[in-house]
A and B are shown apart, each in its own frame.
Chain A
Amino acid sequence: MSDPLLTERTKLFSVKSDWAYLFILYGVSGLFALICVVFLISVIVSSIPAWRHSGLSILYGRTWSQASDSFGALPIIVGTLLTTAIALVLAIPIGIGSALAIVHVLPGKARIYASSLVELLAAVPSVVYGLWGLLVLAPWFEKTVEPDLADITNGHWPFDAPFEGVGLLLAGCVLFVMILPMIVALSRDAIAVVPNDQFEGALSVGATKWQVLRSVVLPAARTGIVGAVTLATARALGETVAVAMVIGLNPLFPHSLFSTASTLASTIALEFQDATPLQVAALGALAVILMAMTAIVNWFGRRLIRRSGAQAQFG
C-alpha cells in the first residue's frame, strides 16, 4: 500500500479544519512539549545546589562520599565508561558476526526465527537481567570465572582483585547481553539492505564469500553498523537497575576488572533513598551529566541510522 513517506498530508491550514480540531492538536502537542521542557528544567534545577556547593569539582573530584558531603564524581564517571567499554568490546564482534550470520549464512526460515529470538532478548526487563546477573552469574563469576581468569594471567593486572563476583566485569557482561539485541537487529538491517547485485558482482570476479562480506558488504553497511553501535553505547551508559544490582556500588576508583565500582545511573538509583537535600542535588548533578552524555551519543547514533537507511525499531 502507500509508502508513509510519500503519502501527501493535508496541511493543517490548507483544508478547512475546524477551530476545535486545531486547538486539540496544537494544545496536546504543546502539552507534550511542555512536559519535556519542564522535565529538562527540573532535572537541571534540582542539581543547582550541588554545583553551587562543589562547582566543577564534581566532574573531576575523586572522592564521592555522602557522609562528608564531598561530591567528586570522577570514579563514578570512569566506572560508567568502563562498564560500557567492556560491554562494547564483547558486543561489537559478537553482534556484527551474528548479524552477518543471520543475513548471509542462515537459510530463509531460520533467518526469521533467529532474528525473532534475538529481539526477544530485548524485551526482557532490566530488573530480570539484574536478578539473573546477581543470583546466577555472580556466584559463578566468584567461584569459577574470576579465579580462572586470574590463573590464566597469573594475577596480572587487571585481573588481580579479590574475587567478589559482583563488580566491573560482571556489570560489563550483563550490559553486553542487554545491548546485544540492539546491535544485532540494527546491523542486520544495515547488512540486509546492501543490494544482492553487489554481492553477485564481487562473486563473479572470483571472490570467496568472506572476501565479498569484508570488501563489499561490510563497507556498504558501515554507516548503519556504526549507528547501531552508537545507539547501543547510549543504552549502556544509561542502564540503571541491572547494573545497580551487580556492580557492588563502590564509589572508589576501580583498579581492576574484578573490583566493585559505581556508575552514574546506579549511584543515582541507590543513593536516592536516604539522601539529604544537598545530596539529592548532587545526584541531580550526576543526572545532568548522564543526560548530556546519553542525549549526545543518541543524537549521533540516530543521525547515522537515518543516513544509512536502516530501520530503527528500537525506541
Chain B
Amino acid sequence: MSSTTIEGVPPDPMLERRELIQQVAHKTLKRRMLRSKVVVALCGFALLLALIPLFAILFSLVQKGLRWWSIDFFTKSPQFPSLLYPNDVGGIANALVGSLVIDGLAAVIAIPIGVVTGLFLAESDGQLANALRMTAEIMTGLPSILLGIFAYQVLVIGFHEWGIKLPGIGFAGIAGSFALGILMIPIIIKASENALRSVPFTIREAALALGARNGVVSRKVVIPTALPGLITAVLLALSRAVGETAPILWVIGASTVVTWNPLHEMAAMPLQIFQSATSPYTSLRAESWGIALSLVVVVLFLNLGSRLLAAWLQRERR
C-alpha cells in the first residue's frame, strides 16, 4: 500500500491510513457528489410540486369565478333557474349577509370567552390551567363536523323540544353562530394566551406598584398592551370560521331571501358553494366558482391581515 517506504523504517500506520482514505475518498467522490446533486434537485422539484396545486386552484378560481362578479351578483338574491332563463341565477346577497351575521355573532360569542379564558391561562400555572390548556388544544384538532352535531343536538333539537317558538323546525342562523363560536374559542384561547404572556412583566409590576388591584391592572394595562396580539388572534380564528362548512351544514336551514335576523333560517357562503357545486344545474355549478372566489378573497384578506399584523408586532416590539 505505502509507496513511500524508506529502507529500514517500519511503515507508519497513520500514513498508510491516510493514503487509503484518500484513495477511497477519491474513488467514491464522483458517485457521492452525483447522488447529492440529484437528491437535492429532487427536493427542489418536490417544492415545485407542492406549489403547483396552489397556483392551479387560484388560477381556476380567477378564470372561472371572476366573470360572476358584478354589482348584481353581490346585491341580488338567488333565483332558481327557470326554463326560460336557465342561466339567470340571481345573486348571492342572501349568503353574503348570512355569512356576515352568522360569523359576526360567532365572533361576539367567542371573543369574550376566548380572551378571558386566555387571560386566565396566562395568569395561572397549576394543574387546572394545564388541563384547560390541553382541552383547548384537543378542541382545535377535532373535526369540525362534530361541532355541527353538537349544535344540532343542543340547539335544533333543543329549541324544538323545549318549545322555543321559532319559525321553521329549529333551524336558525344562531345555531350556526353557536357552532362556529365553539370552533373559534380554542383558537382564540391559544393565541391570546401567547399574546398576553408576552407582555413584559415589568409593565405589570409598575402598575401593581402604583397600588392597582390585579383586575384593574389586567384590564387597563395588560390587555391594551397585548391588544394587537389579541386582534391577530381574533382575525386568525375568524378566517378559519368564515370558510367552514361542516359545522353549519344542517343547522342553519336555508334561505333564499336576505335576512338579518339570526333567529331565522339563513344562508352562508361556504354552504352555498357546497350546494351549488353539487347541484345538478350547470349554471349553479358554474356560479359556485364566483362564490368560491369571493370566499377565498375574504379568507385570504383576514389571514394575511392577521399575519401582517403579527409581523408588524414583531418589529414594533424589538
A and B directly contacting (CB within 8 A): yes
Q: Does A197 contact B (CB under 8 A)?
A: no
- The smallest C-beta distance from A60 to any residue of chain B, in angstroms, reads 22
**1/0 contact trace for B49-86 toward A, CB 8 Å?**
11101101100110000000000000000000000000
Chain A nearest CB from B106 CB (Å) reads 13
The answer to whether B44 and A29 have CB atoms under 8 Å apart is no
Given A1-B198, A8-B201 in contact, is the A241-B141 Cβ separation under 8 Å?
no
With known contacts A8-B201, A114-B51, A93–B142 Cβ distance under 8 A: no
Interface string of A226-250 (1 = CB under 8 A from B): 0000010011011111000100000
From B5-13, B90-98, B258-266, B287-295, the one touching the partner chain is B287-295
With A125-B299, A208-B35: A9-B132 Cβ-Cβ less than 8 Å: no
Contact with B along A4-15 (1 / 0, CB 8 A): 110111111001
- The segment from A132-140, A144-152, A156-164 that touches chain B is A132-140
How far is B213's CA from A170's CA once the two chains are assembled, in angstroms? 59
- A43 to B182 alpha-carbon distance, docked (Å): 14
Interface-forming stretch among A50-58, A68-76, A295-303?
Answer: A295-303
Q: For chain B residues 97-131, which have a beta carbon within 8 Å of chain A?
A: 112-113, 116-117, 119-125
* A117–B120 touching, CB < 8 Å: no
For the complex, what is the distance from the CA of A1 to the CA of B139, rounded to whole Å?
A: 30
For B198, the closest partner residue in chain A by CB is A4
Are B116 and A46 touching (Cβ within 8 A)? no
Which residues between 1 and 49 of chain A lie within 8 Å of chain B, taking CB atoms?
1-2, 4-5, 7-12, 15-18, 20-22, 24-26, 28-29, 31-33, 35-36, 38-39, 42-43, 46
Residues of A within 8 A of B148 (CB): 269
Chain B residues 199-220 with CB under 8 Å of chain A are 199-201, 204, 208, 213-216, 218
B256 adjacent to chain A (CB < 8 Å):
no
Contact of B132 among A10, A33, A211, A234 (CB under 8 A): A33
Q: How far is the CA of A104 from the CA of B47 in the complex (A)?
A: 12
Instruction: Check if B300 sits within 8 Å of A120, measured CB to CB.
Output: yes
Give Cα A9 to B204, complex, Å: 9
Take A102-B47, A117-B54 as given contacts and tell me if A29 and B116 are in contact as well, using a CB distance cutoff of 8 Å. yes
Chain B residues lying within 8 Å of A125, measured Cβ to Cβ, are: 242-245, 270, 295-296, 299
The total number of A-B Cβ pairs within 8 Å is: 275
Q: Which residues of A contact B14 (CB under 8 A)?
A: none
B40:A7 contact, CB within 8 angstroms: no
Whole-angstrom distance between the Cβ of B151 and the nearest chain A Cβ: 10
* Interface membership of A131, Cβ < 8 A: yes
Provide the bound-state CA to CA distance between A134 and B42, in Å: 30
Chain A residues contacting B87 (CB-CB under 8 Å) are none
Q: What residues of chain B have their CB less than 8 Å away from a CB belonging to chain A?
A: 25, 32-33, 35-36, 39-40, 42-47, 49-51, 53-54, 56-57, 60-61, 112-113, 116-117, 119-125, 132, 135-150, 152-154, 182, 185, 187, 189-190, 194, 197-201, 204, 208, 213-216, 218, 239, 242-246, 249-250, 270, 273-274, 277-278, 285, 288-289, 292, 295-296, 299-300, 303, 317-318
26 A-B pairs (CB sep. < 8 Å): A1-B317, A2-B201, A7-B198, A8-B201, A9-B124, A17-B215, A29-B120, A31-B113, A32-B136, A39-B182, A43-B153, A46-B153, A94-B46, A94-B50, A95-B50, A98-B43, A98-B50, A100-B43, A114-B47, A118-B50, A118-B51, A123-B303, A208-B33, A210-B35, A295-B141, A315-B187
